[in-house]
Structure 1
Amino acid sequence: MVGRSAPNRHPNRKLASRVRAVPGIRAVSTYRREWLVKDLVAGVVLTTLLVPQGMAYAELAGLPAITGLYTTVLCLLGYAVCGPSRILVLGPDSALGPMIAATVLPLVAAGGDPDRAVALASVLALMVAAVMILASVAKLGFISDLISKPTMIGYMNGLALTILIGQLPKLLGFSVDADSLIGECAGFVRSLAGGAAVPAAAAVGIGGIVVVLVLQRFLPKVPAVLVMVVLAIGAAVVFDLGERGVALVGELPEGFPPFTVPDVRPADLPLLLGGALGIALVSLTDTISNASAFAARTGQEVRGNQEMAGVGVANLAAGLFQGFPVSTSGSRTAVAERAGARTQLTGVVGAVLIVLMLVLVPGLFRDLPQPALAAVVITASLSLADLSGSVRLWRQSRTEFLLCGAAFAGVALLGVLPGIAVAVSLSVLNVFRRAWWPYRTVLGRVPDLEGYHDVRSYPQARQLPGLLIYRFDAPLFFANARTFRDEIRRLAGTDPRPTWIVIAAEPMTDVDTTAADILEDLDEALNADGVHLVFAELKDPVRRKIERFELTRTIDARHFFPTVGAAVAAFRRLTGAEWTDGDH
């Protein structure tokens, strides 16, 4: 009996262990009573930012403002259950808005059917969820490293400019119909010159930007966006701005949407998938960077794969309730942190308050001017730009500055979705370029300095007659093996002619079959001319590969040394060569 009953209990324990491993359940089981008041207060403060930003970013994505609130509620609840970070805040994001619009709006009928746009955006959120969850299961968090810092700076600068130009007409009370940044610039200038701007709208929009920037600069603890929104609603009521040509948000739908499986045409799915991959990559990069920054402050460990799963579940929840793709938000997380947030209960409080607002007071933002939402988006876009980072790249590395500029141009000229493809391609090509044309140099002995050093940094460095020490700072593979061969041939032909060329091989972390074949031919040609190829500091895994490739048939097994110093000492014993005067 005992032997039969034990296996039945084991699955129960395993199931209980898995349930306890869910971040939300683990957070509840370890929750401390003294955190409650702080989480409740932080949730109220956070809500004052979540509502206007959610509405503004929904319109940035080309969707009805109400969908931003639906999305905010569901993603906060989804991440509270499955997200590992204690205080990271998710929601509609200014960086994702243009990408969503670029994916969804071309598929919407010419009439601009908002229901179809919402359905497409919801499917997009579900696709992003699938990508993130599958990437989490496959432990692909490293994919966020596909975008280097310089190309990310350029991409974000281009995105900030795209958002700014796209929101300027709304800020001034008119609209422009264009498909590109240049077209939007031209249309904006033409409309402005034609007198399309509405003075009252311009006053609200520009005034809103000034209020937000001034408060953020001089009173950072004051909820700047909330203050601006309240002032804008007050101005709309007092001055009857709706009758002066200023577009207002209007009455929001009452209540909350039901569980909905979005219905779209199969022909739309391939185009949506392309957008979902780009959005998932940007969201992943943003999530990992934000999680790392806030984890360092709170003493948490960053769990990249769990973060992907948490963001994936948040997108899944949003997509099933008429929402759109979301990401983490550094600004909203900072607000929650400053307000005293301790756990994800802060986000849950925010979600509950938004639901109560939709159910009890849906007309609360009826008189909110649309230019005020444009002001919210524009001030957010300014935080995306990193002009000081671009200047630093110009000073530190012209090559990486050019990469930054190329990524910027990709977004500005091709659009946000092609722009992310350009950014990833440039990052990968830059890695390939560094491996293709690595740094390489000759080493020499420097008086009163231990070891062997780059002759470019130490022109006074000396070499033993008949010996050259060469360092190649990259793995040896098909793309750079011919560069290595040509450089060795050039060194072998110098005057006086060396008899040993010692490869300082510590940076050489790999050798592939193409490089092995080239090495074999090179060694045979050098041996015919009385020159020997010698390896020092070759890593054991690489040495084993060379033996497996049978290179020791041509390269003398005695020509492998543990250190450069050992190779030099062996050469001196063999030839009796001495360092020139002034060397030790």
Structure 2
Amino acid sequence: MATKDGSEAALKTNPNNWHRWKNLLPDVGAGLLLCAFLVPAGMAYSTASGLPPVAGLYASIVSLIIYGLLGPSRVLILGPDSALAPLIAAAVVPLSGGDPHRALALAGLLAIFVGVYLVLGYFLKLGFLSNLLSKPIRTGYLAGLAVVVGLSQLAGLLGRSSDGVTEPWNQLTSAIGRVARGDFNMIAALIGGITIVILLVATRLPTNLRLLGILVTVGGSMVASAVFGLNEMLPVVGALPSGLPAPALSGFSWGDVIATAGPAAGIALLAFADTAVLSRSLAQRNGVRVDGGKEMLALGSANAASGVLGGFPISASTSRTPVALNAGARSRLAGLAAGLWLLVFMLTLPGVTAHLPSSVLSGVVIVAAASMVDIDGIKGLIRSSRIETALMAGTFVGVLVLGVLPGVVLAVVLSLAVFVQATFSPYRTELVKVAGRPGFHDITRHPEGRRIPGLALVRFDSPLFFANGQVFVDHVRDIVDASPQPVRCVIVAAEGITGVDSTAVEHLVQLDEYLEKKGISLVFAELKGPVKDRLAKFGLADRFDRGHHFSTVESAVEHFSGQS
């Protein structure tokens, strides 16, 4: 079924039939429109990464062509991304010493490392690592990146260089000081401000009209600059070098290799997480499945090729892909066509950017950064969970205080901490009978419920392992001790216990021996077959024989209720 913007119909083509002739004209046309968007966006994100503008076009060309040939998704557009820009800049700028050629070489090395990590991840089946960034962590991290990226563009927006200032707070105070002293280019700031306003208005237009915003600002600013001779009055991008993407890997040492290897791991994780989320959302929308492993392989190959041929790390983006879809893209051929159109642009029209004000690119980046802030997601977290809100806020502050690269580490650590906390101390409760309702229910949700005389019904929602075995034991003992009547049998509603390790087995034996001394039986209801097999392998087949297992909680209660 088609939607208003036509993107549903665009995705109904079989991904394996991207070469069909009927897709040729729509995809080539979509590629041309996409190219018009990618030229300013690619240059803007390259500038935000601390690199020459042309590097963004090289990265776009290479990644589009490689993914067009290898990618598993029907329509997914790779290229420079605002979320990766601050990480690239943090890794490259301190090592480059202000030398743009060295910066390009380091960025290429960084992209190669990203590609190698992702390709290795494909062969080692590590795609699950993209799930390390939970929603609150991801929301806070991207919001922090948005602030970092936006503040990094203030100097360019004012028509001035950054003067080596990299800390967000210093960038803000420096910009305020310049405005207060009048030390800024009024024309550049005016053009940059107009760019931001037009692009923000464009975000409220239908998706298929948003491309007009960037075309109007970029085209209009170049025409104004040429007509009124603004080149002598404000910084401009200048003409781009003509030619094909070429290797720029030279002039780095083993120290540079070591220095870029670590940041590349964080960039690889974020790039794949972004790409996987977008790929899955598009696939789910259209009732198809995408191979996450092949997605990782294609993304890794595109990054490695980008690094070799003068580019830098890339990923998928929620801004470029909708542009392609709403331009009529039907298959991966659209991305391939866009890469070829960019190649034609580089060979025939590199001088067209000679009159493009640099502050326009800063405005493009600032608006792109603002789009990384998920306002609805933030509101939802605040409404639903204090803990997740705190995690989001902690990640946000961590990015601003520690920096974007340590922020990746912090995000992963916090995500793992949430997982560990949930696993070490899972939800657990006592079950009771509720009048008028079948089955047995959580006593915390139904305090009016009635305990079954002589029985203690226990629920534990986690696999049993070394870290929570004692928690399980304490939970059972607390329920037994708190029972208003003597307990003859503990029935564990074990549907949530999906695994057990050797340490947890020791805890189970100790618990069973403790209860046995008090004349209390320990039995399990709804325990999974593989967990029973594990208990048998640990030598507990006799201790927990068939008489200790029941198919349902109801059958266990019925059995023991009949005993006196």
Shorter-chain TM-score range = over 0.9
Question: 1:386 corresponds to which letter in structure 2?
Answer: D
Structure 2 Cα separation of the partners of residues 261 and 56 of structure 1: 22
Percent sequence identity over aligned pairs:
41
Establish whether residue 186 from structure 1 lines up as the match of residue 173 from structure 2.
yes
- The residue correspondences of 1:105-504 to structure 2 (distance < 5 A) are 105-109=93-97, 112-176=98-162, 177-218=164-205, 220-222=207-209, 223=211, 224-244=213-233, 246-494=234-482, 495-504=484-493
Residue 455 of structure 2 aligns with an amino acid whose one-letter code is L
For residue 401 of structure 1, report the CA deviation from its aligned partner: 1.1
- In the TM superposition, residue 103 of structure 1 has moved relative to its aligned partner by 0.9
CA shift digits 1:303-353 (9 cap, x unpaired): 111111111121122111111111112211111111111222222322222
Q: CA 1:391–1:27 in structure 2 vs 1: closer, same or farther (change >3 Å)?
A: closer
TM-score w.r.t. structure 2 length? 0.93
- Conservation of the 8 A alpha-carbon contact between 2:207 and 2:326: no
Partners of 1:524 and 1:554 within 8 A in 2: no
* C-alpha distance after superposition, 1:29-85 (max 9, x if no partner): 763322222112111111110100110111111000111111111111111121122
CA deviation after TM superposition for structure 1 residue 557, in Å:
5.4
Question: Residue 296 and residue 480 in structure 1: after superposition, are their counterparts in 2 closer, same or farther (change >3 A)?
Answer: closer
| Aligned-partner residue type, residue 198 of structure 1 | N
Asked if the contact 2:430–2:479 (Cα under 8 Å) also holds between the matched residues in 1, the reply is no
Letter in 2 for 1:339: A
Amino acid at match of 1:509: T
TM-aligned CA deviation for residue 527 of structure 1? 1.6
Amino acid at match of 1:457: R
Shift of 1:116: 0.7
Equivalent in the alignment of 1:565: 554
Contact 2:525/2:556 (8 A) holds in 1: yes
Change beyond 3 A, Cα 1:119–1:396? same
Aligned to 1:511: 500
- TM-superposed CA distance for 1:262, in Å, is 4.2
Given that residues 157 and 387 in structure 1 are in contact (C-alpha distance below 8 angstroms), is that contact kept between their aligned partners in structure 2?
A: no
Offset of residue 552 of structure 1: 5.0
User: 1:505 deviation in Å?
Assistant: 0.9
Secondary structure of the residue aligned to 1:34 is: helix
Preserved CA contact (<8 Å) 1:506 1:536: yes
Give the Cα separation in 2 of the matches to 1:572 and 1:29: 64
Which of 52, 57, 64 in structure 1 is aligned with 2:45? 57
Amino acid at match of 1:316: A
The aligned counterpart of 2:511 is: 522
Partner of residue 20, structure 1: none
Contact map agreement 1:473 1:507 (CA 8 A) in 2: yes
Which residue identity does 2:447 align to in structure 1? Answer: P
- Cα 1:565/1:190, change in 2 over 3 Å: same
Quote the Cα distance in structure 1 between the aligned partners of 2:146 and 2:247.
34
- Please say if residues 182 and 413 of structure 1, whose CA atoms lie closer than 8 Å, have aligned partners that are also in contact: no
- Per-residue deviation at 1:423? 1.1
1:546 aligns with 2:535: yes
The one-letter code matched in structure 2 to 1:498 is V
How far apart, in 2, do the equivalents of 1:316 and 1:374 lie?
27
Asked whether the 8 Å contact 2:50–2:89 carries over to 1, the reply is: yes
Query: Following the alignment from structure 2 to structure 1, what is the Cα–Cα distance between the partners of residues 50 and 248?
Result: 20
Does the alignment pair 1:41 with 2:29? yes
Deviation of 1:240 after TM superposition, in Å, equals: 2.6
Q: 1:322 to 1:30 in 2, by over 3 A?
A: closer
Task: Output the CA distance in 1 between the equivalents of 2:429 and 2:17.
Answer: 59
Task: Name the CA distance, whole Å, in 2 between partners of 1:234 and 1:214.
Answer: 21
TM-score between both structures, scaled by the size of structure 1 = 0.90
1:502–1:536 Cα contact (<8 Å) kept: yes
Whole-Å separation in 2 of the counterparts to 1:31 and 1:82? 13
Q: Distance in 1 between matches of 2:16 and 2:464?
A: 52
Q: How many residues align?
A: 547
Q: How far apart, CA to CA, are the structure 1 residues paired with 2:90 and 2:503?
A: 43
User: 2:18 and 2:403 mapped to 1: Cα distance?
Assistant: 46
Q: Which amino acid aligns with 2:70?
A: C
Deviation at 1:563, TM superposition (A): 1.6
Q: 3-state SS of the aligned residue for 2:208?
A: coil
Instruction: State how far apart, in whole Å, the 2-side matches of 1:532 and 1:28 are.
Output: 59
Cα distance change, pair 505–372 in 1 and its aligned pair in 2 (3 A): same
Aligned equivalents of 2:228, 2:511: Cα separation in 1: 84
**Deviation, structure 1 residue 219:** 5.4
CA-to-partner distance for each residue in 1:184-241, whole Å, 9 max, x for gaps? 2232223332222221111000000111122332354332111110111122223332
Structure 1: 5+ residue stretches without partners: 1-25, 576-584
What is the CA–CA distance in structure 2 between the aligned matches of 1:331 and 1:257, rounded to whole Å?
24
Please tell me whether the aligned partners of residues 476 and 508 of structure 1 are also in contact (alpha carbons under 8 angstroms): yes
User: Aligned in 2, Cα 1:36/1:481: closer, same or farther, shift over 3 Å?
Assistant: same
CA 1:370–1:414 in 2, change beyond 3 Å: closer, same or farther?
same
Q: Which sits farther off after the overlay, 127-136 or 353-362?
A: 353-362
Could you list the per-position Cα deviations for residues 392-443 of structure 1 after superposition, in whole angstroms to 9, with x for gaps in the alignment? Answer: 1010111111111111112111111111111111111111111111111111
After superposition, the CA RMSD in angstroms is 1.9
Verify the 8 A CA contact 2:154 2:171 in the aligned structure 1.
Answer: no
Q: C-alpha displacement at 1:502, in angstroms? A: 1.2
In structure 2, distance between residues paired with 1:219 and 1:477: 52
Q: Distance in 2 between matches of 1:220 and 1:509?
A: 46
Q: Secondary structure of the equivalent of 1:506?
A: coil
Distance 1:439 1:96 in 2: 37
Residue identity opposite 2:195 in structure 1: G
Alignment correspondent of 2:76: 88
Secondary structure at the residue paired with 1:62? coil
- Pairwise CA distance, 1:532: 2.4
| Pair 1:155–1:28, CA change in 2 (3 A) | closer
Over 3 Å counting, the alpha-carbon distance change for 1:559 and 1:352 in structure 2 is: closer
Which segments of 5 or more consecutive residues in structure 2 lack a partner in the other structure?
A: 1-13
Instruction: Work out whether residues 491 and 556 of structure 2, in 8 Å CA contact, stay in contact via their aligned partners in 1.
Output: yes
